[in-house]
Structure 1
């Protein structure tokens, strides 16, 4: 059976619409883990210490003279560490809980030269 140009065009449009829908769905699923604004610094520090220690987060970029050291606040450092842990372990049972000190966001928290990892 021969396909007419019109049929081919309709099929192409349907394929493009489907592809766009899949890409939009994937984009909406991007998640980062950040410190909860309402959590006291003392609790954030405790969770940050765990994430960078036993938790296994990569905290090298929040060290002095590194890309994510500034702003030099417990909240910002905790956000980076929480996200590092979450991205590294989310497919192996890890979560973004940290005893209620963290939450999920769909907004990329990267800023300036500090890039927060996102792993699909």
Structure 2
């Protein structure tokens, strides 16, 4: 799965925006960098921020359940960054267990794990 429910952009594009925000970039800079309207990017960032704790929890559990020797990600500077780190951590854990999973982006894994609902009103 490579797309999110009700989103026109691929998961990698949205994921790149989320990762950039977690690194401290603003919506205008992110939008310019990925060539998308700033309103669209702000919508993604708002939706993700509103569920950052839920995303962090889901992907931390996935990491711990998947990894052979789980190491949860270190606390970041914001809940948003914590959630993005959990997505990347779960991706690393899955790739360590199943090498072919490492051939897809962390955002494809996030799409599959949430059934495309990463930015939907509910993850379930």
* Fold agreement, TM-score > 0.5: no
Larger Rg: 1
Higher helix share: 2
Q: TM-score, length-normalised on structure 1?
A: 0.38
Higher strand share: 1
